[in-house]
Structure 1
Amino acid sequence: MTVPAFNSVAWFEFGTDQPEKVKEFYGELFDWNYVPNTNTPGVTYHSVMPPGAQRPAGGVWESEGGFPDYAIFYVLVQDVTATVERAGELGAEVLMEPVSDSAGFRFARLRDTAGNHFGVFSAPAAP
């Protein structure tokens, strides 16, 4: 399995109040399959499995109307907190402070200086 390079786009996410429509459309278009992801209690999330992939490439977060629909990318970084701090120094707005899930992934969401929404994340250390 190939590990994405640091500072590269390594994940995408849809946030939607119509998850079945999103999953059906992209599933039929790209032959994606979906598996439930239960790493964050209280969040209904489905990991996207592209054909032949050994690991998920993205996810669908069910908003249940709690926030506007979106599609964003995530960049894999070594240190989420340091990256968020640096982004703030460069003028970014923090939309979601760094958080961790039960599997050890850490992530945050930002808005760049042109108004674009994106995310950063780090993976847990390999055992």
Structure 2
Amino acid sequence: MNGIGWFQIGVSDAAVARRFYGELFGWTFGGDEAYQMITTPDEKSVMGGLAVGQPGHAIFCVVVQDVPAVCERAEAAGGKVLVQPTTTGDGPMFANITDPEGNHFGIFQPRA
């Protein structure tokens, strides 16, 4: 736990992003239109997702055991919760927070 386990890139145009990252790095994409899974050619690479229709961002996500507790600790340490703990349709819980400098990152808890 507490290692980087995911990355996410927010884009307005999925086709442009797929072409750019596909040509640049050989990444491939799958999944639904709103959230597309990213696979890199490196088997040891962290997996990621393309968040379509969201403001541009590129963030890393840390795997944690308790998303709500980490959000509380982040706020106590001077951070801010941008996206409150949310459970996805297939089970994992996530939240987005910033550190005291305003750096945005995600946390997620695998489904139980």
Same fold (TM over 0.5): yes
Structure 2: 5+ residue runs without aligned partners? none
**1:69-90 CA deviation, whole Å, 9 max, x = no partner?**
1111100001111111100100
Confirm or deny: 8 A CA contact 1:47 1:56 kept in the other structure. Answer: no
Residue 98 (structure 1) aligned with residue 85 (structure 2): yes
C-alpha distance in structure 1 between counterparts of 2:100 and 2:70, whole Å: 15
C-alpha distance in structure 2 between counterparts of 1:56 and 1:10, whole Å: 6
Structure 1: 5+ residue runs without aligned partners? 1-5, 38-42
C-alpha distance in structure 2 between counterparts of 1:51 and 1:95, whole Å: 32
For 1:88, what is the secondary structure of its paired residue?
helix
For 1:46, what is the secondary structure of its paired residue?
strand
C-alpha distance in structure 1 between counterparts of 2:93 and 2:106, whole Å: 11
Q: TM-score, normalised by structure 2?
A: 0.90
Which one-letter code corresponds to 1:29 in the other structure?
L
Q: Would you say how many aligned residue pairs link Structure 1 and Structure 2?
A: 112
- Tell me: CA distance 1:52–1:90, structure 2 relative to 1, closer, same or farther (3 Å): closer
Which one-letter code corresponds to 2:73 in the other structure?
R
**1:82 matched to which residue of 2?**
69
- Tell me: CA distance 1:52–1:69, structure 2 relative to 1, closer, same or farther (3 Å): closer
**1:20-75 CA deviation, whole Å, 9 max, x = no partner?**
111111112221111114xxxxx711000122649970000111xxx531111100
C-alpha distance in structure 2 between counterparts of 1:26 and 1:14, whole Å: 11
After TM superposition, the runs of 4+ consecutive aligned structure 1 residues lying more than 4 A away are 52-56
Identity of aligned residues (%): 38
- Tell me: CA distance 1:48–1:56, structure 2 relative to 1, closer, same or farther (3 Å): farther
Residue 68 (structure 1) aligned with residue 55 (structure 2): yes
**2:40 matched to which residue of 1?**
50
Deviation for aligned residue 1:124: 1.1
For 1:24, what is the secondary structure of its paired residue?
helix
From 12, 16, 38, give the equivalent of 1:17: 12
Q: TM-score, normalised by structure 1?
A: 0.80
- Tell me: CA distance 1:52–1:26, structure 2 relative to 1, closer, same or farther (3 Å): same
